[in-house]
């Protein structure tokens, strides 16, 4: 990799930041448009959530696919392809004459968005020195808190001229990103190309599709009945069957989509477990507005705005977390963050539901999520993976986090309903999330110290060709 000066890195970081923000915003701003989309296409309440579900499903598939292609063909061409696909998907959604074609556009967006973040993170690993990677990843991680702050506001403004403009606005942004990406991002490619792992990619796609479809059809109001329905149990069984088969295929593949050799490292295994757990905890936030409506009698829109302290602290704290990573390493940051997240979830499950207790718990949760969702776990993967595996490693973290989010929605709803529903049921669910996070905090104590991380980096540097 050719050396890159500070000015070039700053320009590169700006391009990556805007690309990740574009993908993140397209989740946050869609919510306000759902009533208008439902009215135009005359779909029922069961079909409407597929606007989100199909986006998540195809982003799950797109993450390892685009990460793999990035390792093979270089960061710049795949990043440009992702941005181009995202723009085409946005255009397809905006002009869709039917709801089915709208979902096709959302699927294309999902594939592209799934690749943007891991490719951006891998580019940082390629071009930033180890002592500056944490700060750069922290800035990228702040995008998600920022997106959920400005998303509803931007969405409300664009709705005044039509819901289609929520997607049309992506087109000029994508065009500028393509132009500046071609100028600033590195174009190096792998010196040797190996056969693409089509068998692994198809099997992974089937596994993720089966898992997502099965979990999304669990009815939390009738958990046991839904588990034995044909929309759930066959797909969950298929998931369990495909999982070991996929692992075997990847273990024997010449150039696998999911690098099983990465998991020979305890550090990578712990980071992956923490990613699943963090996604599960994050999914618990989705239910907070519902709890507030029940407890305080506020409108749903008002309840949603009560989550602002959480996303605000995430946006503010993510760059701080990045700087702390460069100084103290991942272990200290992750243990501190997971401790805060544990306390926040326990507060939600045990304190009286009021504005003051919500803000207090929200601050702890925001600090905790910013220390886990953004830079630290990706920082670990950059340190542990070779340059040829960086995007694949970043894709794995994105993949595991998404899996946790899908599991979390099903788990929280099922636990709440099993306790009779209502506020007591959700209290139990949040206490369970707190207990899970406590276990993950203990597991995080097994991460490498800063001294050990630096030794790993030095060993990898000494082993790399001059």
Distance from C-alpha of 79 to C-alpha of 112, rounded to nearest angstrom: 9
Q: Is pLDDT of 138 > 60?
A: yes
CB 351 within 8 A of CB 357: yes
pLDDT average, residue stretch 250-262: 82
Torsion angle defined by CA atoms of residues 303, 305, 307 and 311, in that order, rounded to the nearest 10 degrees: 160
Distance from C-alpha of 130 to C-alpha of 307, rounded to nearest angstrom: 34
Q: What is the pLDDT of residue 321?
A: 87
Q: What share of the chain in percent tops pLDDT 70?
A: 90
* Confidence (pTM): 0.76
pLDDT average, residue stretch 396-404: 83
Nearest residue to 179 via CA among 11, 7, 10: 11
Q: Is pLDDT of 421 > 70?
A: no
Distance from C-alpha of 169 to C-alpha of 258, rounded to nearest angstrom: 34
Q: Is pLDDT of 64 > 90?
A: no
CB 271 within 8 A of CB 77: no
Q: Is pLDDT of 238 > 60?
A: yes
Q: What is the pLDDT of residue 210?
A: 86
pLDDT average, residue stretch 235-247: 91
Q: What 8-state DSSP symbol labels residue 4? A: -
What class is the 261-460 domain?
mainly alpha
| Burial classification of residue 233, based on how many CB atoms lie within 10 Å of its CB (0-12 exposed, 13-18 middle, 19 or more buried) | middle
- 96-128 per-position pLDDT tens digit: 999 999 999 999 999 999 889 888 888 888 888
Q: What is the pLDDT of residue 20?
A: 87
- Lowest mean pLDDT segment, chosen from 63-77, 83-97, 150-164, 261-275: 150-164
Tell me whether domains 1-186 and 261-460 share a fold. yes
The more confident residue out of 443 and 67 is 443
Distance from C-alpha of 397 to C-alpha of 393, rounded to nearest angstrom: 7
Confidence band for 149, pLDDT divided at 50, 70 and 90: low
pLDDT average, residue stretch 345-363: 86
Q: Is pLDDT of 257 > 60?
A: yes
Q: What is the pLDDT of residue 97?
A: 94
Query: For the chain, how many residues are written?
Result: 466
- Averaged pLDDT score across all residues of the chain: 83
pLDDT average, residue stretch 417-435: 83
Distance from C-alpha of 160 to C-alpha of 144, rounded to nearest angstrom: 24
Distance from C-alpha of 448 to C-alpha of 330, rounded to nearest angstrom: 8
Q: What is the pLDDT of residue 167?
A: 92
Q: Is pLDDT of 56 > 70?
A: yes
Q: What 8-state DSSP symbol labels residue 449? A: P
Determine phi and psi for 196, rounding to 5 degrees.
-70, 140
Q: What is the pLDDT of residue 318?
A: 81
Q: Is pLDDT of 345 > 90?
A: yes
Alpha-carbon distances of 416 from 307, 311, 349, 361, rounded to whole Å: 20, 24, 11, 19
Q: Is pLDDT of 203 > 50?
A: yes
Q: What is the pLDDT of residue 461?
A: 58
- H-helix or E-strand spanning residue 265: none
Q: What is the Cα Rg of the chain in Å? A: 21
pLDDT average, residue stretch 167-196: 84
Q: What share of the chain in percent tops pLDDT 90?
A: 26
| Range picked from 45-54, 317-326, 416-425 for highest mean pLDDT | 317-326
The more confident residue out of 123 and 410 is 123
Q: Is pLDDT of 330 > 80?
A: yes
Distance from C-alpha of 115 to C-alpha of 94, rounded to nearest angstrom: 22
- 152-172 per-position pLDDT tens digit: 667 777 878 888 998 999 999
Q: Is pLDDT of 304 > 60?
A: yes
Q: Is pLDDT of 85 > 90?
A: yes
Torsion angle defined by CA atoms of residues 302, 303, 309 and 312, in that order, rounded to the nearest 10 degrees: -70
Start-to-end CA distance of the chain, whole Å, equals 10
The more confident residue out of 2 and 72 is 72
| Burial classification of residue 49, based on how many CB atoms lie within 10 Å of its CB (0-12 exposed, 13-18 middle, 19 or more buried) | exposed
pLDDT average, residue stretch 128-144: 77
pLDDT average, residue stretch 389-401: 80
CB 406 within 8 A of CB 212: yes
- Does the domain at 1-186 match CATH 1.10.10.60? Answer given as no
Task: Give the ranges where 160-218 is alpha helix by DSSP (H).
Answer: 165-168, 170-184, 198-216
Confidence band for 148, pLDDT divided at 50, 70 and 90: low
| Burial classification of residue 191, based on how many CB atoms lie within 10 Å of its CB (0-12 exposed, 13-18 middle, 19 or more buried) | exposed
> Quick one: CA dihedral 447, 449, 455, 460, positive or negative?
positive
Confidence band for 191, pLDDT divided at 50, 70 and 90: low
- H-helix or E-strand spanning residue 217: none
Distance from C-alpha of 83 to C-alpha of 113, rounded to nearest angstrom: 8
* Residues whose CB is less than 8 angstroms from the CB of residue 345 and which lie 6 or more positions away in sequence, other chains included: 281, 284, 361, 365, 430, 431, 433, 434, 437
Q: Is pLDDT of 466 > 60?
A: no
129 three-state secondary structure: coil
Q: Is pLDDT of 259 > 90?
A: no
Where in the chain are the domains? 1-186, 261-460
pLDDT average, residue stretch 379-394: 80
Nearest residue to 447 via CA among 273, 259, 319: 273
Torsion angle defined by CA atoms of residues 134, 137, 142 and 147, in that order, rounded to the nearest 10 degrees: 180
* Residues whose CB is less than 8 angstroms from the CB of residue 149 and which lie 6 or more positions away in sequence, other chains included: 308, 311, 312, 315
């Amino acid at each position: 990799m050719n050396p890159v000066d500070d000015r070039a890195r700053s320009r590169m970081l700006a391009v990556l930041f805007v690309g990740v923000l574009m993908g993140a915003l397209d989740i946050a701003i869609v919510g306000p448009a759902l009533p208008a989309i439902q009215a135009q296409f005359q779909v029922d309440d069961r079909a409407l959530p597929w606007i989100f579900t199909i986006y998540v499903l195809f982003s799950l598939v797109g993450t390892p696919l685009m990460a793999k292609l990035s390792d093979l063909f270089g960061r710049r061409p795949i990043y440009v392809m992702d941005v181009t696909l995202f723009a085409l998907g946005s255009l397809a959604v905006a002009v869709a004459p039917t709801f089915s074609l709208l979902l096709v556009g959302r699927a294309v967006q999902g594939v592209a968005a799934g690749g943007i973040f891991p490719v951006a993170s891998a580019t940082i690993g390629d071009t930033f020195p180890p002592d500056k990677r944490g700060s750069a990843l922290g800035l990228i991680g702040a995008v998600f808190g920022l997106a959920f702050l400005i998303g509803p506001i931007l969405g409300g403004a664009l709705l005044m001229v039509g819901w289609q403009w929520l997607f049309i606005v992506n087109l000029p942004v994508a065009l500028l990103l393509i132009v500046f990406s071609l100028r600033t991002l590195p174009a190096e490619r792998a010196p040797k190309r190996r056969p693409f792992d089509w068998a692994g990619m198809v099997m992974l796609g089937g596994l993720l599709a089966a898992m997502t479809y099965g979990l999304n059809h669990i009815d939390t109001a009738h958990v046991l009945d839904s588990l034995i329905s044909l929309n759930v149990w066959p797909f969950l069984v298929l998931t369990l069957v495909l999982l070991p088969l996929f692992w075997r295929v990847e273990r024997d593949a010449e150039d696998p989509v999911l690098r099983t050799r990465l998991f020979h490292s305890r550090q990578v295994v712990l980071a992956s477990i923490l990613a699943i757990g963090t996604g599960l905890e994050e999914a618990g936030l989705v239910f907070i507005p519902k709890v507030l409506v029940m407890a305080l009698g506020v409108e749903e829109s008002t309840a949603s705005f009560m989550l602002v302290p959480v996303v605000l602290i995430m946006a503010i704290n993510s760059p701080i977390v990045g700087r702390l990573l460069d100084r103290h390493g991942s272990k200290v940051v992750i243990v501190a963050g997971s401790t805060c997240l544990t306390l926040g979830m326990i507060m939600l499950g045990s304190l009286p539901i009021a504005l003051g207790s919500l803000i207090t718990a929200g601050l702890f949760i925001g600090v905790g999520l910013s220390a886990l969702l953004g830079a630290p776990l990706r920082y670990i993967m950059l340190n542990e993976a070779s340059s040829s595996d960086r995007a694949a490693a970043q894709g794995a973290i994105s993949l595991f986090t998404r899996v946790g989010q899908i599991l979390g929605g099903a788990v929280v709803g099922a636990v709440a309903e099993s306790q009779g529903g209502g506020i007591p049921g959700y209290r139990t669910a949040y206490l369970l999330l707190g207990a899970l996070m406590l276990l993950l905090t203990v597991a995080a104590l097994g991460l490498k110290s800063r001294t050990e991380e630096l030794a790993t980096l030095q060993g990898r540097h000494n082993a790399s060709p001059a």
